[in-house]
Structure 1
Amino acid sequence: MIQLMIWNSSDLERAKPASSSSLISRTPSGTTPRKSSGLMGRFSQLLSFDMEEPRSLPTEEQLAAHQLTRETIQSCHIDSIFSESKFLQAESLLQLVKSLILTASRLSKGTGPVDDEGASVFCLELLIAITLNNRDRIMLIWQEVYEHISNVVQSTIMPCTLVEKAVFGLLRICQRLLPYKENLTDELLKSLQLILKLDARVADAYCEQITQEVMRLVKANATHIRSHVGWRTITSLLSITARHPEASETGFETLAFIMSDGAHLLPSNYVFCVDAARQFAESRLGDVDRSVSALDMMAGSVVCLARWSSEAQIAVGQEAAMKLSRDIGEMWLRMVQGLRKVCLDHREEVRNHAIVMLQRSLVGVDMIHLPIALWFQCFDLVIFTLLDDLLDISLESSPKNYWKMEETLVLAMKLMAKAFLQQLQDLSQQPSFCRLWLGVLNRMERYMKVKFRGKRSEKIHELVPELLKNILLVMKTTGVLKPSDDIGGDSFWQLTWLHVKNICPPLQSEVFQDHELEQMQAKNMKSGVPAPDETLTVPSSERTV
């Protein structure tokens, strides 16, 4: 029937030429053109078989046949098939959808008498209208509808009306059906991944409008989106906007709606949202304030991790709590790794704020039950790596590209010292503590040697000994650093002072008074252990961390 409506005017219309706008209604010469709007208006135009102005007038027989066909079709009230499709039998509905898709497919391939994008658009609009009218039977037709939209999206390489209708029709379907079809939420949101497959030129042309529709979808349906799959699609669409001039503002507003105050953060979307926030923090399209806000959202998400961790301890058994604790730990590690990347930003305000937010995320996690092994990972992957990267930038990059790196190095050194002291008691109980401690000393030693424009940094030369002295005093007070220690073997004490002497020689006498050193020396001589001031050869494997 659909093909008949679109194509079977050939016998009646031979005198009328094919055109690129066959759905625009025109009457024979001598009458005033009439234009209809809306889907049913376009449907009436289609039934009339009106074309462009003919080059030659049809014969009286052709006009009569045309009029008879028109009246016959109109008397059948075919438009009610579409407007009242929800009353069709299941098989009839499915066949109607398939017929529309087949017709549109032939039109797009140019295999029918009418080769017109307008006709393909019309079929697509009918298809979307039928889908929306049959939300209670969506499973019956969804696969067919989705595949047709997918074909349109993936076969179009330039912006055009057809792909525009396909993309925004798909978004409209998701917006309308998400509140009513919880069992289809993942399937509907997964379908939006088609937008990610758009040709770059097409995506760029519609990115701003797409983002606006995604924002409407999220604000209206955030509570209905629960799964990993659904949120991955949403955050992928938002991440793309971070570097799009027209869409980035709306994209960030949507992400802020999800993340601010943990409003809609879930274990299923946490990593995705944090990664999207990092991309906005790194983007230079917005001003510095937006990058700072993105960093605030990343660090502020720790509150959610703490809440989930506390809830897990109460709500689930010990085994499940341990698994959830590991999962939360991995989320936290991903978040601080993201912050570390922004700490290398060219913009001074952004990288310094990133370091401050990273420090807050490291020392403000008392409520999160993080496995101790994760802290060793954090020092290796985040803290030590950050200090090494910043030092390399200071030594190798032009000051024109990185302004005021001295202040950044100061902040990074304070971060390492605070994180180390925060976890000292737990870390010191582990076999790998000696290696970790040498890593801290190694970074302090290297930072003491850094120069800016050929001159040493007075700020760093004042800061590092002060931080190191504070750490040593705490280690002494807590019993972590003592002559008779067992941490890392008998060499821990000597290894410590070997590095300290390279950083600030007077510190040993400032931390341990003379009488304490004398007592230590006497004890060591009895046990055969080298005295503190004796030379000790350190294995090369333990010198550099």
Structure 2
Amino acid sequence: MLILEKPREKQESGLFSSLYSFISSEGQREPTYEEQDFIKLGRKCIKECQLDQMLQESKFVQLESLQELLKCVLALLKAPQGHKSIGLPYAEDQTVFWMEFLVKIVVHNRDRMIPLWPAVRDQMYLLLMGSASCGYDYLLNRCIVAVLKLAIYLMRNEELCPIVLQSLKMLLMLKPALLLRISKQISIGIYELLKTSAQNIHSEQDWQIIFNLLECVGAGAVPPNYDDAQLPLPPNGSAKSDGAISGEEDATAVPERGYTSDSEITKASAAPAVSSPSAENWILVNNKDSELTTASRPQSPPSLSAPPVNTLVYNCQLLDHAPFALFKCWDSLAFIVRSVAHITPYNFEACVRCIRIFVEACRDGGIRQRRKLESAAKQKSSKKRSERKPGMASSASSSNLTLLTGDPSDNQINGNAAEQEDLAQRYEQLSIQLLDLMYTLYTRTAQIFRWWAEEGCTVPQSAALWSPGWCPLLQGIARLAMDRRREVRTHAISCLQQRALLVHDLQTLSGTEWCSCFHQVLFPLLNELLPESNAAGQLDAALLEESRIRTATIMSKVFLQHLTTLIELGNAFNELWLDILDYIERFMKVGSDTLSEQMQEILKNMLLVMHSVRVFHNQDGSLQQALWELTWRRIGEFLPNLKEELFHDEADSITPAVSLDYTQIRFAHSTGTTDYSLSLPLYGYSPKISSISASKCDTLPATQRKKPWAKLRSKLKLLKKVGKKN
């Protein structure tokens, strides 16, 4: 028999085990002459059996015969009963051989597998869970490939597609750590599956499985808890899903940041209070990774008694992810969105959720994941250095070689630095592609629902698409507008300013929904640019000031474009207007003189436009005293002279801005000798006109006595200046 030299593995003496190991393994020792004879005999035996022809001709046998064949093969597939470290005998290679034998039979008979699939699915589930729980990594990898290969071939049959796709939930029942290790194989398999069978996926439940796989495998989201009664119990007898974090892992986990709901305020306010650190609004990481927390993310959740604060951070739990799997799953996601036929009203919200999770995973260049990779590389290189130190004194030749060639770990660090730079560029490219993908879906939202409505399906109208569609996509774009990378941030702000908020379909939104746009998209974005925000401290001064000016411009532009709709809100409009003034004041006080001047120009433009469309006036043309006084009372706190500069006529008609208690203006009547004086009181006093003698008006110049009313305005201005000086 052939002996395969594998470390830490006990070899089996079966013919199939030895033969398969010899054919499939790499890096084994050279066989002896006796073993070469066995190899020749084995190859001759396999050739005479004509296994390939037998498998191909299995498609012509009767269904009963096929059932018996599958029953025999399934009986040979035994899942591991104990952990590999215990040392119990288990023919892993033999199991892999018969499993792939089974896969070929199923592929050749895929048109007749509807009644036979449950038995195959159950056995594959037992093998998958058994290999995962017992530490048989080779069998686990081959099981993953086998399950995905079966799905790729069988889902081409439209009748079999939903049955097989539901079976892929078994992949999400694996623990997150195992899912991370096999994420490369799953990401490749899902991409191939979608390219060949996406047109056969129709139901909301089926698409939910696809998007869950992309989220968990690509972005590192925590798998959902599935409890499928159709699947058999794993070999260890535990019916608990492996997708949940075990108690031991939960005990060593610490919260890194809190998440709150962002798409619907009403849902967030009605949700029950969170009482556990492992609830849905936390991201869980291990203790050893806590030092990798970035300052650009919230470090602790708000207290339970505090009111909910709108935020652009999406409500999800993210663990580690593999960069390769992230990029490959992104290809699958882009394939789905860019093919218009694949996005329907039934999978739209699941697709939006998946995109938002990808935004969270790659924000700031996937900085947390890249730092963890860098930390692991440094630990590995330092470990190699410590292992070499005891031998350096006893081996002069090795020390001389090190002096000549340099430390290999240093070369490794340099190589890692280049790889990390390339990885950072790929993350940046992915973020920009995510922006374009969100905008593509954003512009097609109304069209997608309109097409399905024309087909007679019951779907929401365009006016009801704000909460499930437009709002979360705008929040995703605004989330990347908070990114630390200049290219990504600039691209995201430009997308908001020049494209996203100008889409024609948004004209159907009501004033309440536009008010929600401010509170759920624009105001949270402005909050991130204030000094008390952690994200603001990560940006250089020039980029921060540019972002403040551009986001304030977006706020002003949206407000003015939909001013007519917003006015109908009544008191809600007044509150929104005061919030806008509050942000303008705060931006004026935190930046440079240039920023302050820009904020003043934005405010002046808003006031002039509001005045021109008669926002401050009633229908009869009179001033709307409540809004007018409310506006200038608030603006007067930080720009007291702006009212006189822009609206001196309205200012004089309401309350003269003179700081004296009484001001008396004397003039002579042009046709008589009687002189009059006009007393102008402040704030609530009625004016008085009293007669004075002619001798008392000699102090006025002759030119003023000729046209006293024409010069009244200049006197008022002069008196105001005098009052200010006093």
TM range (shorter): 0.7 to 0.9
- How is 1:252-267 mapped onto 2 (pairs within 5 angstroms)? 252-260=330-338, 264-267=342-345
Q: How far is 1:313 from its partner?
A: 7.4
**One-letter amino acid of the counterpart of residue 420, structure 1:** F
Partner residue in 2 for 1:129: 104
- Given candidates 167, 191, 202, the residue that maps to 2:144 is 167
SS at match of 2:202: coil
- Give yes or no for contact 1:146–1:191 (8 Å, CA) kept in 2: yes
Judged with a 3 Å threshold, the aligned counterparts in structure 2 of structure 1 residues 176 and 86 are, in CA distance, closer, same or farther, namely: same
Structure 1 residues 206-238: Cα deviation after superposition (integer angstroms, max 9, x where no partner): 433432232222223333333333333333433
- How is 1:137-216 mapped onto 2 (pairs within 5 angstroms)? 137-157=112-132, 158=135, 160-180=137-157, 182-200=158-176, 202-216=178-192
**One-letter amino acid of the counterpart of residue 352, structure 2:** V
Structure 1 residues 72-113: Cα deviation after superposition (integer angstroms, max 9, x where no partner): xx7xx9998755444455455445434433431266669xx9
Inter-partner Cα distance in structure 1 for 2:116 and 2:683: 84
- Give yes or no for contact 1:312–1:321 (8 Å, CA) kept in 2: yes
Partner residue in 1 for 2:588: 448
- Give yes or no for contact 1:152–1:166 (8 Å, CA) kept in 2: yes
Partner residue in 1 for 2:613: 478
Inter-partner Cα distance in structure 2 for 1:218 and 1:402: 45
- Give yes or no for contact 1:281–1:294 (8 Å, CA) kept in 2: no
**One-letter amino acid of the counterpart of residue 166, structure 1:** C
SS at match of 1:346: coil
Judged with a 3 Å threshold, the aligned counterparts in structure 2 of structure 1 residues 187 and 30 are, in CA distance, closer, same or farther, namely: closer
Partner residue in 1 for 2:356: 275
- Given candidates 29, 34, 38, the residue that maps to 1:33 is 38
SS at match of 1:105: coil
Q: How far is 1:429 from its partner?
A: 0.8
Judged with a 3 Å threshold, the aligned counterparts in structure 2 of structure 1 residues 339 and 413 are, in CA distance, closer, same or farther, namely: same
- Given candidates 82, 100, 105, the residue that maps to 2:73 is 100
Structure 1 residues 185-207: Cα deviation after superposition (integer angstroms, max 9, x where no partner): 33333333333344455444443
Partner residue in 2 for 1:62: none
Partner residue in 2 for 1:363: 501
Inter-partner Cα distance in structure 2 for 1:183 and 1:210: 23
Alignment length, in residue pairs? 464
SS at match of 2:609: helix
Judged with a 3 Å threshold, the aligned counterparts in structure 2 of structure 1 residues 91 and 395 are, in CA distance, closer, same or farther, namely: closer
Inter-partner Cα distance in structure 2 for 1:315 and 1:511: 55
Inter-partner Cα distance in structure 1 for 2:455 and 2:69: 51
Inter-partner Cα distance in structure 1 for 2:646 and 2:130: 73
Structure 1 residues 332-351: Cα deviation after superposition (integer angstroms, max 9, x where no partner): 11111222322222223323
**One-letter amino acid of the counterpart of residue 111, structure 2:** D
**One-letter amino acid of the counterpart of residue 140, structure 2:** V
Residue 19 in structure 1 maps to residue 159 in structure 2: no
Gap runs ≥5 in structure 2: 1-10, 23-31, 220-320, 367-422, 657-681, 685-726
Computed over aligned residues only, the root mean square deviation of the Cα atoms, in angstroms, reads 4.0
- Given candidates 490, 495, 499, the residue that maps to 2:630 is 495
Residue 249 in structure 1 maps to residue 387 in structure 2: no
- How is 1:382-461 mapped onto 2 (pairs within 5 angstroms)? 382-392=521-531, 398-399=537-538, 404-431=543-570, 432-450=572-590, 456-461=591-596
Inter-partner Cα distance in structure 1 for 2:106 and 2:468: 41
- Give yes or no for contact 1:131–1:173 (8 Å, CA) kept in 2: yes
* TM-score, with length taken from structure 1: 0.73
Partner residue in 1 for 2:478: 340
Range that drifts further, 434-443 or 239-248:
239-248
Range that drifts further, 388-397 or 435-444:
388-397
Matched-pair identity in %: 28
Q: How far is 1:116 from its partner?
A: 0.4
Q: How far is 1:367 from its partner?
A: 1.9
Q: How far is 1:290 from its partner?
A: 2.8
Q: How far is 1:129 from its partner?
A: 2.0
Inter-partner Cα distance in structure 2 for 1:104 and 1:339: 50
Q: How far is 1:304 from its partner?
A: 0.8
Inter-partner Cα distance in structure 2 for 1:352 and 1:78: 61
**One-letter amino acid of the counterpart of residue 563, structure 2:** L
- Give yes or no for contact 2:73–2:102 (8 Å, CA) kept in 1: yes
- Give yes or no for contact 1:302–1:361 (8 Å, CA) kept in 2: no
SS at match of 1:356: helix
Range that drifts further, 290-299 or 399-408:
399-408
**One-letter amino acid of the counterpart of residue 335, structure 1:** L
More helix by share: 1
Partner residue in 2 for 1:350: 488
Judged with a 3 Å threshold, the aligned counterparts in structure 2 of structure 1 residues 165 and 402 are, in CA distance, closer, same or farther, namely: farther
Q: Which has the larger radius of gyration?
A: 2
Inter-partner Cα distance in structure 2 for 1:500 and 1:30: 93
